[in-house]
Amino acid sequence: MNNSQNASYQAGQARGQVQEKGNQMMDRAANAAQSAKESVQETGQQMQAKAQGAADAVKNATGLNK
């Protein structure tokens, strides 16, 4: 392998490594976004349940639940 071929090979190796690192970073970002989405959904469900509980308590206290 001459110097030109070796340099080309090394450049190809470096490019492949950069692409792989980029893919890993994109995967991590996607995972973080999915985790955040799930967390927000869970929080929303908890808030909805609490609001429903509060509404039911008001109905019970005022006799509207009968």
- Residue 7 CB-density burial (10 A; 0-12 exposed, 13-18 middle, 19+ buried): exposed
Domain ranges of the chain: 1-65
Residue range 6-26, pLDDT digits in tens: 999 999 999 999 999 999 999
Distance CA(57)–CA(64), nearest Å, equals: 10
Predicted confidence band of residue 63 (pLDDT cuts 50, 70, 90)? confident
Per-residue confidence (pLDDT) for residue 53, from 0 to 100: 96
CB 26 within 8 A of CB 18: no
Write down the residue that tokens 């973080």 correspond to.
Answer: 32
Per-residue confidence (pLDDT) for residue 2, from 0 to 100: 86
